[in-house]
Structure 1
Amino acid sequence: MRLKAAFLYGIFLAVTAQRVPYTSTKQKNIAVPSPPDPEPIEIIELPLPPVTPDETEGGCTRKINPHGTGCIGATASNLLSGNFLPDGDHVTASLVFTGAPAAPDPASIYNGLHLIIIRANGTNFPNGDPWKCITCGVPADQQYGLTSTMDYQYPQAFTDGTRVLAGAYIIDCGTAQLASPKCTPDKVHIYPIRWNITPNGNGSGGAIRELRKHPDDVHLSFNAMSYTTGTIAQYAYFARLQFNPAPTTGTPLTPRYDLVNVTLLYDPTGETPLSANGSHLTINRQSISVGEARGLSGLGDQIDYLGFPAESCNVDIFGANLKTGEVTRVTYGPEYVGPMDTSSDGKWVVIMDTTTSDRMMFLAGMRGVPPLVDTLITGAISSIRNNGHRRFFQPWLFERYGARDHKDSRNYQGQQINAGGDSHPGSVSDPLWNGGADPRFSLDGTKIAYFQLLVQTPDCGGSNPLPCPNSTEPGHRTERLMMATLSSREPIPWAPMDPVSDTVPWGQPYVPGSAPPDQALVPYGNFTLTGQVSGHAKVSFVANSAGTTLETVLATYYNYSDDGDNFIMGTEKVSTSYPNMTLIHVDWFSDLHSTGISKSSKLTSPGGFYFDIDINNNKFYANGTLTTTVDGVVYRQPENAT
């Protein structure tokens, strides 16, 4: 018999498995250079609309903004930065304008959620503002299918400079460049994106999230949730954008973009991450689970995503070649990494990572442990990365090579982009300003845009031991947009890319109306896992009393090593339950020890370690302790709700 198990990556469950060869530079015998020396990075803050202390109608007065071009609130602008326009001098962003006067005042259009572009070269637009609202004042009959729940997440400019993908919409200025005076509200059209999920093409289409544009301006990746039998699952897709000026089925019956030739990034013939032959358990290094698609590489040849861990409690980015399915492990650090971007030449990666906080080290600090208990706990582990709305991300830059083949380089994790400052309140290195999603390279590779959020109540102050900081930003706003210039680099030559194929050979063509695939299967029973270099582990996968799902994983290690660097001994046991669909309860017992390139231990308190976490709010509550020590450095769990 086999047993269903669910894996959670990012903030949602992901349970697909696909057949792709896992490779690293060591396995390919590729000569890898030593890590690069730190490079000079200059950081500035990009300007935003002024802040009004009065967010009621008319609160944005001419005294606050003499140009009458809108205000934002101190804590509620919902800033989301995007990427650069092809000229490298403008950054896209979405935010909420507030306090606009009532119509017919011309400034009444600066109200609600809008797409803006921001000058990144120190100059202003002709009206004197360093920003320009693209969607303010667009005629209602050119806003197709917009709803009150619209969002403009992750705004991504097309390389033609006339369009932006923002959430599930494409904002188009026709033949006019977005940054030019010719792009006026009457030229702008806002088109919805629709994914058909019914055989007859009726209905409003499927709900899609985390859309990322392909560099060819024709394709994109997206994710979709599935709610079945009391569980949450997420699947990733690749599709072509096709403009439909006059649809006859489905809603909205307005000009729109349809997603066509959709491919589910899943191979039903592929091996699962774990499989058994009799009593012998195998970790299929040539198998991978696509959990959450995070975007397309700068060269357009690879889908990047969060996947089933390569090491226990490590949440990393992997990449699968769209043609061959060959997979590369993109990140190797023991902390949580999610948002990322690749330079247009494919050689550099920028990520948001929790490394500077050591938040996840009590879980992932011991390296080389195989991902066995992760069949149960990856969802819970991923959710610890935040404390509610407080994030622990900082931006990092690194060259895109795999695992190093020599000891001096194996710990290379890149360069923290905003390190080196004095960390005083409001500085670029202030640790209480944490990164938001999706840092972005300019097309020429010399600049990186990212945004930050200042921790706020209830994730500081009150019963939380972290005092709430005072914002030093204009109007005391708690969101800001930053730009890092890689000042020693020469611009990367780039040109518009020819469209890639719609076909992903290792994927599964999506048929509208078809049910999502079954969840990945994990064997249950008692097994032996043999280390690739030495030792073995005795492993038990135990079903719940009904025999319907995995409940407990027990692993005992005997000088186990897959890499020849870390040798694992001891026992670990984890059980999980789900009081409701999003709440995870974990019982954990660990007595692990490691020798080799480091001396490590991973120990729970005598009575065990128990915690609950809801993937919707990322609040961590534990009884008992889980402590990891690496070469004498002790890493402890966060305090509850911190």
Structure 2
Amino acid sequence: MTSMTIFIAGILGLTRAACAIEPIPSPEPISITELPLPPFLGNTSEGACTADFNPRGTGCIAQTGLNSGSFLPDGKHLTATVEFVGAPAAPDPAHIYSGQQLFIIKTDGTTFSNGDTWKCLTCGVPAENQVGATALDAYPQTFMDGTRAMAGTNIVDCGSYQLYSDDCTPDKVYIYPIRLSDTSNDNYTGTGASIRELRLHPDQVHLGFDTFVFSGPSIGEFSFYGRLQFNETGSRYDVVNASVLISTSAQSVITVNGSEVVFDPEGIAVGELRGFTGDGSEILYVGNPVESCNIDIFAIGITTGKVRRVTEHPGYADPISYSYDNNWFIVLDTRGTDRMEFLSALRTVPPVTDLLTVAAVASVRNNGVRRFFRPWLLDHDGDRGLYFGQQLNGNNNTAPGDTNDPYWNSGADPRWSPDGTRVAYYEMFAVSPACGGTNPLPCESNPYADGRQVRVMLAEFTTRTPTTPPIIPEHSDEVPWAIPYKPGMSMPTFTPFPNGVYTLYGAQGGHANVTFALGTTSSNIVVTYHNYTVDGKNVLNGYENVTSNTLSQTLSSFDWYSDLISEGTNGVGTKKTSADGFHFQIDVMTNEFVANGTLTTVVDDTTYNQPCNEC
């Protein structure tokens, strides 16, 4: 695919508010190219990857089997996790190109010594070098020493050799599992706790991650921060001195105090951890909304506990990556697709009913495996006023297979080159059942002869001057506002608010009557607004009535009635359900939207409708 340059304003006029915080950066030229990859193969049977597909015998990839990761320190190589298929049986030398592996892609147009633009790091690693290792299946991240990379819940180590060098051969590679103790007397044996979504801290010593906790009819998620410590005896990395990222003062966005509901937009409510700022001083996370149904990224100071809202656009923001110099970030977001705005485009609505709906609302962002994510560039301070960033691939090149083809959507995580001039991200192709078949959205013909459904893209900021990444000093283990983790401890539980009628006062005037009727498997919240305003510029009236019903640990149904009107500097907006209400169910693990009735948001002359069922 040829390189092409894009230049767009990337500013969406969803609010009339003028920007008066920080200057808005000018859009800049961006060149997008596609990185070369091994051949993709639909036939996964043994021996199917023949010399006809790969004459060098260095493997074929499953059509969906790749997730790109981060750059090596030299900026010329990119890590990825891949699933090799069709390898011949042993003793053919190519038999090692099988299963989930960690490999490296060249990003500078050169090749490795064998002529390939890629190198498998873990293919052929002896069994004794990977005792206890788990799947190399997610979020590959490199250490700045260039000799180690993290993939899944493992660290791949080549000793004193750079990962990209010819000297880094399979016999020199070790794969060490990462382990968090989960019982007080486990003596550091066994598999430990189940951890996910690992993110390496910029100091190269600490780690952030999440865990799921299943309790009764519900599912909970907790985020952690801890120190990586090599355990030579156990041939693994232990997570020690960990903290559970829950405030010791039990702060939250919504609390109850006597007869009042209190809304604190700076309350600590860490949801799923998504990484760290470039200097490592803040933890990035998807938090509870501070505007109803608006799922955003927040940052919290590791030592200060101060919360900063990073994104505000009424889409859904999730994967995020700050540049090494901490001046910019890339976020994957539904902004520009209108996927979420039927829920979230009415601004300054406090997140009261979100106590029931937040997980379900967040799940609308996808249609099954299809993500409606696009990569957006913003400066350190994020969304403000009319500034919503610049879409990396925001050009008019929407033909099949082109750089902004809407059937190719971004996957987590985008990653910066150390010198700040490039960003790598990967994209996934929409196929049935996310389109076609019974789905009203028709599928696009695959533009690639080998049927690949994933590709890796490189965005280059062509007018930027390369910078040297700073060395981040080692941070403390202590998180003063969080709860120290003790192996075997019970995770904190959320105490439901007492049922009853409360008053929520607007920060700048008006009030709302709030009724909680919260149960184990069925709960109801009713909110009625009376000239309610949080900013003194937009006034909210009307009501919302939401009932949630738990059908399983991950599946819930909702009965939703809404008739809201907001007037002010954000324009005139309404959020209304049809006369029979809006009824939908969604499984947070599969993200397939099914609804009866309608929920529609109108802002001035723009109408935002819900997506069709299962699309």
Alignment partners' CA distance in 2, 1:542 and 1:582: 21
Secondary structure of 1:72's counterpart equals strand
Alignment partner, residue 386 of structure 2: 411
Specify which of 477, 484, 488 is matched with residue 513 of structure 1. 488
Alignment partner, residue 292 of structure 1: 272
Counterpart AA for 2:301: N
Secondary structure of 1:379's counterpart equals helix
Counterpart AA for 2:541: M
Q: Is 1:47 the equivalent of 2:19? A: no
Pairing of 1:536-547 with structure 2 (within 5 A): 536-544=511-519
* CA pair 492-32 structure 1, distance change in 2 beyond 3 A: farther
Task: Please identify, of 310-319 and 469-478, the stretch whose mean Cα deviation from structure 2 is larger.
Answer: 469-478
Alignment partner, residue 327 of structure 2: 347
Q: Is 1:91 the equivalent of 2:74? A: no
Alignment partners' CA distance in 1, 2:251 and 2:371: 35
Alignment partner, residue 174 of structure 1: 159
Structure 1 residue 227: Cα displacement: 1.4
User: Residue 272 of structure 1 contacts residue 521 of structure 1 at CA under 8 Å; is this kept in 2?
Assistant: no
Pairing of 1:4-83 with structure 2 (within 5 A): 32-73=21-62, 75-77=63-65, 79-83=66-70
Residues 429-473 of structure 1: per-residue CA shift (max 9 Å, x gap): 101100101111112111111000010111111111111112213
Specify which of 237, 248, 253 is matched with residue 273 of structure 1. 253
Task: Please identify, of 274-283 and 102-111, the stretch whose mean Cα deviation from structure 2 is larger.
Answer: 274-283
Residues 312-347 of structure 1: per-residue CA shift (max 9 Å, x gap): 000001111111111100111101111110111212
Q: Is 1:603 the equivalent of 2:583? A: no
Alignment partners' CA distance in 2, 1:151 and 1:180: 20
Task: Please identify, of 521-530 and 581-590, the stretch whose mean Cα deviation from structure 2 is larger.
Answer: 521-530
Alignment partner, residue 464 of structure 1: 439
Alignment partner, residue 552 of structure 2: 580
* CA pair 550-49 structure 1, distance change in 2 beyond 3 A: same
Alignment partners' CA distance in 1, 2:191 and 2:49: 37
User: Residue 297 of structure 1 contacts residue 346 of structure 1 at CA under 8 Å; is this kept in 2?
Assistant: yes
Pairing of 1:347-426 with structure 2 (within 5 A): 347-401=327-381, 404=384, 410-426=385-401
Alignment partners' CA distance in 1, 2:101 and 2:412: 18
Alignment partners' CA distance in 1, 2:147 and 2:166: 12
Residues 217-247 of structure 1: per-residue CA shift (max 9 Å, x gap): 1110010111123211111111111111113
Alignment partner, residue 179 of structure 2: 194
Structure 1 residue 274: Cα displacement: 2.2
Alignment partner, residue 305 of structure 1: 285
Structure 1 residue 48: Cα displacement: 0.9
Structure 2 spans left out of the alignment, 5+ residues: 1-18
Structure 1 residue 474: Cα displacement: 4.7
RMSD: 1.5
Alignment partners' CA distance in 2, 1:76 and 1:275: 44
Residues 495-533 of structure 1: per-residue CA shift (max 9 Å, x gap): 432211111111111111110012154343111111112
Alignment partners' CA distance in 1, 2:398 and 2:498: 49
Alignment partner, residue 128 of structure 1: 115
Specify which of 399, 402, 424 is matched with residue 427 of structure 1. 402
User: Residue 320 of structure 2 contacts residue 330 of structure 2 at CA under 8 Å; is this kept in 1?
Assistant: yes
Specify which of 572, 590, 607 is matched with residue 634 of structure 1. 607
User: Residue 541 of structure 1 contacts residue 550 of structure 1 at CA under 8 Å; is this kept in 2?
Assistant: no
Alignment partners' CA distance in 2, 1:568 and 1:430: 39
Counterpart AA for 1:566: N
Secondary structure of 1:356's counterpart equals coil
Specify which of 558, 570, 593 is matched with residue 565 of structure 2. 593
Alignment partners' CA distance in 1, 2:292 and 2:537: 15
Structure 1 residue 40: Cα displacement: 0.5
Q: Is 1:621 the equivalent of 2:594? A: yes
User: Residue 274 of structure 1 contacts residue 523 of structure 1 at CA under 8 Å; is this kept in 2?
Assistant: no
Provide TM-score, normalisation by structure 1: 0.90
Structure 1 residue 38: Cα displacement: 1.0
User: Residue 82 of structure 1 contacts residue 92 of structure 1 at CA under 8 Å; is this kept in 2?
Assistant: yes
Residues 230-280 of structure 1: per-residue CA shift (max 9 Å, x gap): 211111111111111113xxxxxxx11111111111123233332333322
Structure 1 residue 50: Cα displacement: 1.0
Counterpart AA for 1:584: S
Structure 1 residue 557: Cα displacement: 1.0
Alignment partners' CA distance in 2, 1:572 and 1:244: 54
Alignment partners' CA distance in 1, 2:550 and 2:41: 44
Alignment partner, residue 553 of structure 1: 525
Secondary structure of 1:290's counterpart equals coil
Give the percent of matched residue pairs that are identical in Structure 1 and Structure 2. Answer: 48
Alignment partners' CA distance in 2, 1:549 and 1:533: 36
Alignment partners' CA distance in 2, 1:53 and 1:530: 59
Alignment partners' CA distance in 1, 2:99 and 2:193: 25
* TM superposition outliers: structure 1 runs of 4+ over 6 Å: none
User: Residue 272 of structure 1 contacts residue 520 of structure 1 at CA under 8 Å; is this kept in 2?
Assistant: no
Secondary structure of 1:362's counterpart equals helix
Alignment partner, residue 183 of structure 1: 168
User: Residue 561 of structure 2 contacts residue 582 of structure 2 at CA under 8 Å; is this kept in 1?
Assistant: yes
Alignment partners' CA distance in 1, 2:588 and 2:240: 32
Residues 520-569 of structure 1: per-residue CA shift (max 9 Å, x gap): 5434311111111222111111133xxx5771111111121112332111
Q: Is 1:487 the equivalent of 2:466? A: no
Specify which of 420, 427, 436 is matched with residue 445 of structure 1. 420
Alignment partners' CA distance in 2, 1:565 and 1:422: 39
Counterpart AA for 2:348: G
Structure 1 residue 151: Cα displacement: 3.5
Structure 1 residue 156: Cα displacement: 0.1
Alignment partners' CA distance in 2, 1:285 and 1:52: 49
Q: Is 1:282 the equivalent of 2:269? A: no
Alignment partners' CA distance in 1, 2:551 and 2:53: 50
Q: Is 1:569 the equivalent of 2:558? A: no
Counterpart AA for 1:634: T
Counterpart AA for 2:529: Y
User: Residue 217 of structure 2 contacts residue 550 of structure 2 at CA under 8 Å; is this kept in 1?
Assistant: no
Residues 26-51 of structure 1: per-residue CA shift (max 9 Å, x gap): xxxx9833211110000100111012
Pairing of 1:105-254 with structure 2 (within 5 A): 105-147=92-134, 150-201=135-186, 202-247=189-234
Alignment partners' CA distance in 1, 2:57 and 2:521: 59
Structure 1 residue 420: Cα displacement: 1.1
The structure with higher relative contact order (CA 8 Å, sep 6+) is 1
Structure 1 residue 493: Cα displacement: 2.0
Alignment partners' CA distance in 1, 2:260 and 2:437: 53
Alignment partners' CA distance in 1, 2:396 and 2:366: 24
Alignment partners' CA distance in 2, 1:492 and 1:537: 51
Alignment partner, residue 532 of structure 1: 507
Alignment partners' CA distance in 2, 1:412 and 1:529: 30
Secondary structure of 1:438's counterpart equals strand
| Count of aligned pairs between the two proteins | 594
Alignment partner, residue 18 of structure 1: none
Secondary structure of 1:484's counterpart equals strand
Structure 1 residue 288: Cα displacement: 2.0
